[in-house]
Chain A
Amino acid sequence: MRAGWLSFCLMVGLFVCSAALAQSAKNYVFDDAAKEATFRELIGELRCPKCQNQSIADSNAELAVDLRERTYQMVQEGASKQEVIDYMVARYGDFVHYQPPVTVATSILWWGPLGVLIIGGIVVVLRVRQQRHREVEWSAEEQAQLDALRQRQKGENE
């Protein structure tokens, strides 16, 4: 019963959220489906400088509304996706785009994971090799023990 209520609340919550999200782009009318697609992609990719962790599609901050409006104007006037991104980055910096450009400062974001993977791979390979090549050393006593066991087995088999 309780689980039922919980899922019901979740469902209502999700419904309200998606309705709110849909609203952010509702008022924009396009004469061209391709332009609308570009616009929707852009507002999902551009980050609201005021609200830190939301795209301008998700945020209802005044600034996000303004940036959406400007994006709409530019797309309607025929600007390409890259033109709008360049326009925003020129004013708000790399911060405004969720996909950071490859520069010296951001190189760790792009190559860091790959570097960690390579280092991990090298460590694993080295370890495996080391184990495989390890010489098995016997003491004389152990050798004698082994010989005795073998002898016994031989005797049992016969």
Chain B
Amino acid sequence: MSKGARWVVLLLPLAAFLLLVGFLLRGLFSDPTELSSALVGKPVPQFSVPDLYQPVQTRTDAVLSGKPMLLNVWATWCPTCRAEHAYLNELAAQGVAIVGLNYKDDSREKAVRWLNTLGDPYTVNLFDEKGAVALEFGVYGAPETFLIDSQGQIRYRHVGDVNERVWQGELGKRYRALMAEYEGGQN
């Protein structure tokens, strides 16, 4: 074996080890609970649920198109939803369209009371009593926020609360890009 080849063989395990260390380090600092949505790039699933305020009124997936918007999955039993609520109010005041999907809440009254006391940032309120719609969206916890484009296509999913940092990050950036595209198309 030539001297060069010998060095390569000697250093190979070290290189493999460093590669493994890099891989494991990345794993150490990544959040395993954050799953990418299987629905990104797909149209919103079809559904039909009652309105949160008016049980007799039926809402369908038609409410999720027309302009770029957010679909926020929430419930009164979810503490993180309470934490993000003030920020959602703020976004709504800025003109961001947010549809609320109330997910398996304890009761309709409790959800309505929550919106009456904390403010209602949602343009439409969907009442998903059994979680059937959430299952179609692949929701695995609350809160989750989907970004939907004007064609009713799911573009992004954020798991966890929406706050200033998130809105400056991926979710907000993608929303602003979609909005710019949408407004460009309008003119």
Contact among B39, B104, B131, B140 for A49, CB-based, below 8 A: B140
- Residues 83-102 of A, flagged 1 when their CB comes within 8 A of B and 0 if not, give 00000011111110000000
Cross-chain contact B131 with A66 (CB below 8 angstroms): yes
Is the CB of B79 closer than 8 A to any CB of chain A?
Answer: no
Cross-chain contact A70 with B32 (CB below 8 angstroms): no
- Identity of the chain B residue whose Cβ is nearest the Cβ of A65 in the assembled complex: B131
A144 to B32, CA, bound (A): 71
Cross-chain contact A89 with B38 (CB below 8 angstroms): yes
Is the CB of B55 closer than 8 A to any CB of chain A?
Answer: no
Is the CB of B24 closer than 8 A to any CB of chain A?
Answer: no
Cross-chain contact B137 with A93 (CB below 8 angstroms): no
- Which residues of chain A come closer than 8 Å to B33, judged between CB atoms? 52
Is the CB of A62 closer than 8 A to any CB of chain B?
Answer: yes
Q: How many residues of B contact A (CB 8 A)?
A: 16
> Known contacts being A63-B141, A66-B131, is A95 close to B35, with CB within 8 Å?
yes
- Which residues of chain A come closer than 8 Å to B137, judged between CB atoms? 91
A35 to B14, CA, bound (A): 52
Is the CB of A50 closer than 8 A to any CB of chain B?
Answer: yes
- Which residues of chain B come closer than 8 Å to A50, judged between CB atoms? 140-141
A70 to B133, CA, bound (A): 12
- The A/B interface has a contact count, at CB < 8 Å, of 36
CB under 8 Å from chain B, chain A span 56-83: 62-63, 66-67, 70
- Which residues of chain B come closer than 8 Å to A90, judged between CB atoms? 38-39
- Which residues of chain B come closer than 8 Å to A70, judged between CB atoms? 135
Cross-chain contact B35 with A91 (CB below 8 angstroms): no
Cross-chain contact B39 with A91 (CB below 8 angstroms): yes
Contact among B130, B131, B140 for A92, CB-based, below 8 A: B140
Cross-chain contact A92 with B104 (CB below 8 angstroms): no
**Which of A62, A90, A92 has most chain B Cβ within 10 Å?**
A92
Residues of B in contact with A (beta carbons under 8 Å apart): 32-33, 35-39, 104, 130-131, 135-138, 140-141
Across the A-B interface, give the 6 residue pairs with the lowest CB-CB distance, nearest first. A93-B38, A91-B138, A49-B140, A92-B138, A50-B140, A95-B35
Q: List 29 A-B contacts (CB under 8 A).
A: A49-B138, A49-B140, A50-B140, A52-B32, A52-B33, A62-B131, A63-B140, A63-B141, A66-B130, A66-B131, A66-B135, A67-B135, A70-B135, A89-B38, A90-B38, A90-B39, A91-B38, A91-B39, A91-B135, A91-B137, A92-B35, A92-B140, A93-B35, A93-B36, A93-B37, A93-B38, A93-B138, A94-B38, A95-B35
